[in-house]
Amino acid sequence: MAVSLRTLYRDIASLKAQGAEIDGEPGLGYVLKPGFVLPPLMFSSVEIEALMLGMRWVADRGDTVLAAGARDAAARIAAVLPRALRRELETSALLVGTSLRRTTHDTALELMRAAIRDGLKMKLAYRDKRGVTSHRVVWPFAVVYFEEARVLSAWCELRGDFRNFRADQIVQLEPLAERSPRSPTVLLDEWRRSLQASGLTILPETGSLPF
């Protein structure tokens, strides 16, 4: 294909820097593991502002892992954008104000997200507003990020119904090896329908992304 080895090695290094999992070494060959998709290269000005505002919010309000992910995502997107769009991304004037109350439950939130990704049950000790502690086994399916609180939404085996648990009132949290009988996606859909049936909502009506 009229590509020099030097160019090939440089391109491989660039792909690795963008997060591609590539095995191999010069002189032997390379294998790109499945699941890597190059990020889109073109955005409108409004899309750039939306991306930067969202990533700045997560970098400021998210736990340690999510905040690092937001910063890394911003750097990767900037690395593949044309120069003009990269400048718009880096100089976006939409800023995130300092939160009046910081929420720090890094380890718990990371465990929640991992359990949801893997479809696993969790055991938790929860202290309610009256100071009474109860022990539950739950099937987690969502973490809701309010401005001043983080809330775990799950099916509760003790109550036989959906329940919401504030992260700052969870005294102890332990992922279990047992999978939830229903997947997080199914539980999320059922939860939304139950909220609509009761006339309640804590999420936008279109809670899913358009892809």
| pLDDT single digits (tens) 42-86 | 677 888 888 889 999 998 888 888 999 999 988 888 887 777 778
User: Which helix (H) or strand (E) segment is 7 a member of?
Assistant: helix 5-17
**Which segments of the chain have a pLDDT < 50?**
204-211
Q: What is residue 101's predicted lDDT score, i.e. its pLDDT?
A: 59
Residue 152 and residue 141 in contact, taking contact as beta carbons nearer than 8 Å: no
Q: What is residue 179's predicted lDDT score, i.e. its pLDDT?
A: 96
Closest CA to 171 of 86, 105, 92, 91: 105
CA distance 169 to 149: 10
Q: What is residue 208's predicted lDDT score, i.e. its pLDDT?
A: 40
Q: What domains are defined for the chain?
A: 45-90 (no CATH), 106-198 (2.30.30.520)
101: DSSP letter: S
